[in-house]
Amino acid sequence: MKIQEILSVLEEMAPLAYAEDFDNVGLLVGDANTEATGVLVCHDALESVIDEAITKKCNLVVCFHPILFSGLKKITGKNYVERAIIKAIKNDIAIYAVHTALDNHKKGVNKIFCDALGLINTKILVPKQNFIQKLVTYTIPENVEELRNALFDAGAGKIGNYEDCSYNSKGIGTYMGNEDSNPQIGERFEFVENEEIKIEVTFEKHLQGKVLKALFSNHAYEEVAYEIYGLQNQHQHIGLGMIGELSTAMKEQDFLKFVKEKMQCGSIRHSEFLNKPIKKVAVLGGSGSFAIKNAIAAGADIFLTADLKYHQFYEAENKVVLADIGHFESERFTKNHIVDYLTEKISNFAPSSLFGGIILSQENTNPVKYF
């Protein structure tokens, strides 16, 4: 089994197109065409994790945080990033990061966070903007079913919990071909009026190449008339953070004790209590100060996230309790999810005598300690 086969599974779990523009996800180090000997899944691909991969004979390290985040002009081993990269390259170990590609997935980091707390009725807190496009095309009635089904197979026509969604309307199309044309209906230089069906479908923008390939391969006409529009709709199933509800409301102090236990927090910093029950809970794994207003607008009683600065606690404005539970802690169970996903999917692959399996890293890479 090649490393590339495993990367394809990872991209099903966390499509790279879902990642934020500032992020650095995907294969960061290594050759995807190498035979895989084992996968080590970790939170941060530090030098100690690379040592663990060497010991456990894993030549692919899957990390949540990208060890390479910004550009490097020199690799001399002067800091923890460069030392990890040098050791990985020397030992033919590939490194792959998922980060915000998994943050934005509806079953990703924040769903894992919600599930750990037993939240129900969950939905995206900050839906992704400008991610949906619309294709409009026109064809003859005899070609409609074949063309529409090909577009659906390419990923178009999915809206929330529904698929094969389209809008179809009848009209009259006109054309006249020149001397180089080869019209499906009519002759060269003949003005043709013909019944046509207008097909409209939406799709996630990263699927544009597949959708256009399906359009051109299955359309009846020599020249395909089509339009693509970018929509300003929010994508309700992709985005950062989540909001859900407790099945039973809890007192503020009791809820934070519950969070501390479930997420194994060293401590929790929080804004002033509002002396009202906690029922509606917003979460955002990692640095989530940018979503304070979203949590308030969604009616959250408390917002659990990390990396809040002193002045950001004022932004609670007596409308929500802000709680900083720690960056690592808020993403704690992500690597377990990755291991479970890969183990399930790769069990369907043909076994290889070289492949040692999917292994959860035992290294604690949390740089924050509590006294």
**What is the per-residue DSSP string for 327-341?**
HHHHTTTHHHHHHHH
Asked whether the beta carbons of 97 and 24 are under 8 A apart, the reply is yes
Instruction: Tell me the average pLDDT across 97-105.
Output: 97
Q: What is the CATH number of the domain that holds 182?
A: 3.30.70.120
Q: How confident is the model at residue 168 (pLDDT cuts 50, 70, 90)?
A: very high
What is the DSSP secondary structure assignment for residue 162, as one 8-state letter? B
Residues 355, 339: Cα–Cα separation, whole Å: 15
Q: How confident is the model at residue 347 (pLDDT cuts 50, 70, 90)?
A: confident
Number of domains in the chain: 3
**Position 348 pLDDT exceeds 70:** no
Q: How confident is the model at residue 351 (pLDDT cuts 50, 70, 90)?
A: low
- Residues 198, 187 share a domain: yes
pLDDT for position 18: 95
Residues 347, 182: Cα–Cα separation, whole Å: 51
Q: Is residue 356 part of a domain?
A: yes
Instruction: Tell me the average pLDDT across 208-228.
Output: 96
Asked whether the beta carbons of 97 and 3 are under 8 A apart, the reply is no
pTM of the model: 0.89
Percentage of the chain with pLDDT > 70?
A: 98
Surface-to-core class of residue 154, CB atoms within 10 Å of its CB (0-12 exposed, 13-18 middle, 19+ buried) = buried
Q: How confident is the model at residue 157 (pLDDT cuts 50, 70, 90)?
A: very high
Q: Is residue 371 part of a domain?
A: no
> Which residues are registered as beta bridge partners of 282?
243, 303
Domain that holds residue 305: 106-128+239-330
Q: Which residue has the tokens 């002396």?
A: 275
- Residues 144, 84 share a domain: no
Residues 231, 203: Cα–Cα separation, whole Å: 10
Q: What is the CATH number of the domain that holds 63?
A: 3.40.1390.30
At residue 245, φ and ψ (nearest 5 deg) are -130, 150
**For residue 136, which of 225, 235, 230 has the smallest C-alpha distance?**
225
**Position 217 pLDDT exceeds 70:** yes
Residue 179: strand, helix, or coil: coil
Residues 89, 80: Cα–Cα separation, whole Å: 14
Q: Is residue 370 part of a domain?
A: no
**For residue 25, which of 109, 90, 87, 91 has the smallest C-alpha distance?**
109
- Residues 145, 80 share a domain: no
**Position 95 pLDDT exceeds 80:** yes
- Residues 267, 143 share a domain: no
What is the DSSP secondary structure assignment for residue 35, as one 8-state letter? B
Instruction: Tell me the average pLDDT across 254-283.
Output: 97
- Considering the chain, what is the average pLDDT of its residues? 95
Q: Is residue 170 part of a domain?
A: yes
